[in-house]
Structure 1
Amino acid sequence: MKNITSCLFLLLLFLSSCQSKKLPILGDSDVVKKIVDGKEVEETVYPVIPDFSFQNQYGETVTAKDFDGKIYVADFFFTTCPTICPPMKRNLLKVYKAFQDNPEVKILSHTIDPDHDTVPILSTYAKDLGVTGTMWQFVTGDREKIYEIGQKHYMVSAREDSSEAGGYIHSGHFVLVDKNKQIRGMYDGTTDEGTKELMKDIEILLKE
Structure 2
Amino acid sequence: MNDRGKIALIYSSVAIISAAFVGGMIYLGSQVPDQPVPNFVDSGGVKEEKFFPIAKDFSGVNQAGESVKLSDLKGKVWLVSEFFAVCPHCAVRNGKELRSIYETFKDHPDFQIVCISVDPETDTLERLQEYGKNLGADASDWWFMSHPNQQETHEYLEKALKFFSIRERTDPTDRDANGRYAHDMGLTLVDREWNVIGKWPLYDADSAEGRKRDPHLYDQLKKQLMDRLTEELEKNETAGMHDMDQDEASAPVAGDSE
**2 CA distance for matches of 1:70 and 1:147?**
24
Give the alignment's TM-score, normalised by structure 2: 0.61
**2 CA distance for matches of 1:126 and 1:158?**
25
Give the alignment's TM-score, normalised by structure 1: 0.74
**2 CA distance for matches of 1:22 and 1:161?**
33
Corresponding residue number in structure 2 for 1:44: none
**2 CA distance for matches of 1:99 and 1:153?**
26
**2 CA distance for matches of 1:147 and 1:199?**
28
Corresponding residue number in structure 1 for 2:29: none
Change (3 A) 1:158 1:85: farther
- Paired letter, 2:181: Y
Corresponding residue number in structure 2 for 1:199: 226
Corresponding residue number in structure 2 for 1:24: 49
Q: For 1:34-113, list aligned pairs within 5 A.
A: 47-82=53-88, 84-89=89-94, 90-113=96-119
| Contact 2:74/2:193, CA 8 A, preserved across alignment | yes
Q: Cα RMSD between the aligned structures? A: 1.9
**1 CA distance for matches of 2:64 and 2:72?**
15
Equivalent position SS for 1:132: coil
| Contact 2:54/2:161, CA 8 A, preserved across alignment | no
- Paired letter, 2:49: P
Quick one: which of 199, 207, 213 aligns to 1:186? 199
**1 CA distance for matches of 2:129 and 2:165?**
22
Quick one: which of 153, 159, 165 aligns to 2:160? 153
- Paired letter, 2:166: R
Higher helix proportion (structure 1 or 2): 2
Higher strand proportion (structure 1 or 2): 1
**1 CA distance for matches of 2:103 and 2:127?**
22
What runs of 5+ residues in structure 2 fail to find an aligned partner?
1-45, 207-217, 236-258
Count of residues in Structure 1 that have an aligned counterpart in Structure 2: 168
| Contact 2:62/2:139, CA 8 A, preserved across alignment | no
Q: Deviations over 1:123-177 (max 9, x none)?
A: 0001011112411000011212211121002111253412453121111100000
Quick one: which of 175, 179, 182 aligns to 2:188? 175
Rg larger in structure: 2
Corresponding residue number in structure 1 for 2:145: 139
How far the C-alpha of 1:25 sits from its partner, in A, is 2.1
Change (3 A) 1:180 1:113: same
Equivalent position SS for 2:158: helix
**Mean Cα deviation higher: 163-172 or 116-125:** 163-172
| Contact 1:48/1:180, CA 8 A, preserved across alignment | no
1:118 aligns to 2:124 (yes or no)? yes
Change (3 A) 1:126 1:26: same
- Paired letter, 1:48: I
